[in-house]
Chains A and B, each alone.
Chain A
Amino acid sequence: MAQTNPGKDSQASEAKKLISLPTSRVRLIMKSSPDVSSINQDALFLTTKATELFVQHLALTSFNNGSGREANSLDYSDLAKTAEETDTFHFLTDILPKKILARDYLESLEQLQDEDADF
């Protein structure tokens, strides 16, 4: 990740060693929000760093939430549960719906239809 170019580049690469996520990609995501014109360097750094903290925070909270059921592992349902139960992560509930297998859904659907169907 580090480059040894002299001058401003070396300062930039020193600074970028503080984070482990690609700032260019973070900027891309930020700019996809409506009405965002420009983002200064501090803001980009802070967002990138905050994202790291967020990943750690979410992963650890979800892991602890789920360790009662499936010891020592983190899976999707732990994340979905955390999003529902933790205020901070509540904004994720739309993108973390609880999943069911298509098979189970179809079974349930059939049961509902059977109740109405005329054979």
Chain B
Amino acid sequence: MDGDSSTTDASQLGITGEYMASGHYVLQPQDDDGEENMNDHEDGGTKENYREQDIYLPIANVARIMKNAVPQTGKIAKDAKECVQECVSEFISFITSEASERCHQEKRKTINGEDILFAMSTLGFDMYVDPLKLYLQKFREAMKGEKGIAGVAVGESLGEDLTEDSFTNQLPTGIITDGQQQNVMVYTTSYQQFTTIPTVQQIQFS
């Protein structure tokens, strides 16, 4: 998985190892045309034509999630949004490869939920696992039950909740509510305030 669309290889850049000592460098054009990476490959069949890095999630969705994650008055640079867009594809591939490997080891062909959760845990994202399990529960209930099941309002998309609720000075939270708007489970993106998952409180963002 090498980003050879932006040259980081020292030999290609023709510069000495000393110059590169403090890290990788990539040339940045003076005028950054940011739209280059907005590929919109809708067909699923021809995976040979695209490297996995070329397929991204829509930047609008990614940008919205970022915007809701940082304090409301914060600004996000355009190149940061594009960058996260690429990181996301990398993340998905990262998790998928690990899950796929486990799948193969156990001689199965279909990647299931457990494979994904296990991959997260293995790769250092175990702080996601417990919230994800709760979301999965809600998802399964929504898929299994009939529409309008009593007591469970999966309701608005959480993306919309995060923008419309007034989290002016708070970090945005993901909330699963029942029909009476009582919080069933709350998590915050700071990962400092997991009310139901004590182990995660050790993780701090400074």
**Chain A residues packing against B (C-beta within 8 Å):** 1, 10-12, 14-22, 25-43, 45-47, 49-64, 72-76, 78-79, 84, 87-88, 91-103, 105, 108-109, 112
* Interface check B107, CB cutoff 8 A: no
Residues of chain B lying within 8 A (CB to CB) of residue A36:
96, 100, 111
Residues of chain A lying within 8 A (CB to CB) of residue B159:
19-20, 52
CB-CB under 8 A for A56 and B116, given A32-B50, A45-B136, A100-B25: no
Q: For chain B residues 153-176, which have a beta carbon within 8 Å of chain A?
A: 154-160, 171-172
**A50 with B116: CB separation less than 8 A:** yes
**A14 with B50: CB separation less than 8 A:** no
**B87 with A92: CB separation less than 8 A:** yes
Residues of chain A lying within 8 A (CB to CB) of residue B3:
94-95, 97
Q: How many residues of B contact A (CB 8 A)?
A: 102
Closest residue of chain B to A11 (Cβ to Cβ) is B143
A57 CB contact (under 8 Å) in B75, B90, B189: B189
Inter-chain CA distance A57–B28, complex, in Å, is 26
Inter-chain CA distance A92–B88, complex, in Å, is 10
B68 CB contact (under 8 Å) in A35, A42, A51, A56: A56
Which of B62, B96, B143, B160 lies at the interface centre, i.e. has the most chain A CB atoms within 10 A of its CB?
A: B96
CB distance from A13 to the nearest CB of B (A): 9
**B84 with A38: CB separation less than 8 A:** no
Inter-chain CA distance A10–B145, complex, in Å, is 11
Q: Which 9 A-B pairs have the closest CB atoms?
A: A20-B159, A42-B113, A97-B24, A75-B77, A15-B142, A32-B52, A56-B69, A59-B66, A73-B75
